[in-house]
């Protein structure tokens, strides 16, 4: 296959992301460049581009780590084992105690990504599909709006400002209500025939994602979901700590290299 400038840039980005994922994180820029066998300046440009798209997080002097968008992409193949081990049992208990589907979303820029889901055996609604890695804007659905409502005002304005030509009066009113209540509702917003409730996953001042319950509209009404708000919030509190330790800006949990022994540096695509 003939390599064009565009494919060369894409291939270089994938190599950098793959290399970073195989290192203990956060990883300093010089260490990433050394592992790649590439110039620091070139490595920085690729990491900066990946950061702007949400695939990489820059954590100051500590360096870089894989971002939530990359984690969401990886969730298409299988959620991060340690993250799953810490959070999935909470989702299973929540789904079992309510007979509704429980979902964990993480924020990815101004979208949310479905990372994990626990679905009761009886939830066979054909309009509902649990697609791990599914993305949706923060302005849509209870999970997105639960996240959006709890972001800093400046970030909310950026999101709403991108909705050219749309009247945001009703959405602004809803976001204020969500902040006051601490949870969000939706009905058939992202999936036909579904109704849900969602609470934000927060740690300190950061909004990392949302925890949601949903079911067929014929089986659950808004009043019934409202009565479950405290249950969802308690489960979210159980998840927020481990999630922050892995994904938050002050993450304390270490990511170790995927390899037992450092492999030979991969060829860097030039």
CATH architecture of 72-247: 2-Layer Sandwich (3.30)
DSSP state of 217: T
**CATH number belonging to domain 5-66:** 1.10.10.10
Q: What average pLDDT is seen over the chain?
A: 84
DSSP state of 70: H
Alpha helices in the chain (DSSP H): 5-21, 29-36, 40-52, 68-74, 81-98, 141-149, 153-161, 169-181, 222-226, 229-247
DSSP state of 25: B
Domain ranges of the chain: 5-66, 72-247
pLDDT band at 108 (very low <50, low <70, confident <90, very high): confident
- 5-66 and 72-247 have identical folds: no
- Tens of pLDDT, residue by residue over 144-182, are 999 999 999 999 999 988 776 667 888 999 999 999 999
- Tens of pLDDT, residue by residue over 14-60, are 999 989 988 888 999 999 999 999 999 999 999 999 999 889 999 88
Is residue 128's pLDDT more than 70? no
């Amino acid at each position: 296959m003939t390599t064009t400038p565009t494919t060369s840039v894409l291939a270089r980005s994938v190599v950098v992301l793959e290399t970073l994922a195989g290192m203990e994180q956060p990883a300093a820029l010089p260490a990433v460049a050394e592992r790649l066998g590439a110039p620091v300046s070139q490595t920085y440009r690729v990491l900066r581009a990946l950061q702007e798209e949400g695939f990489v997080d820059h954590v100051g002097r500590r360096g870089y780590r894989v971002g939530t968008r990359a984690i969401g992409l990886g969730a298409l193949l299988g959620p991060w084992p340690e993250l799953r081990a810490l959070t999935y049992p909470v989702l299973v208990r929540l789904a079992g105690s309510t007979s509704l589907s429980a979902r964990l979303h993480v924020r990815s820029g101004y979208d949310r990504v479905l990372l994990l889901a626990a679905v009761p055996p009886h939830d066979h609604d054909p309009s509902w599909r649990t697609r791990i890695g599914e993305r949706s804007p923060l302005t849509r659905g209870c999970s997105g709006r639960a996240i959006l409502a709890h972001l800093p005002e400046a970030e909310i304005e950026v999101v709403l400002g991108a909705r050219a030509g749309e009247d945001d009066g009703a959405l602004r009113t809803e976001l204020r209500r969500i902040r006051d209540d601490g949870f969000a509702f939706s009905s058939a917003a992202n999936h036909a025939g579904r109704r849900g409730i969602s609470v934000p996953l927060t740690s300190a001042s950061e909004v990392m994602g949302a925890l949601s319950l949903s079911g067929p509209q014929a089986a659950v009404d808004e009043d019934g979901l409202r009565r479950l708000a405290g249950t969802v919030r308690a489960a979210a509190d159980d998840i927020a700590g481990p999630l922050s330790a892995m994904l938050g800006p002050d993450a304390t949990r270490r990511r170790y290299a995927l390899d037992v022994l450092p492999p030979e540096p991969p060829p860097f695509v030039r």
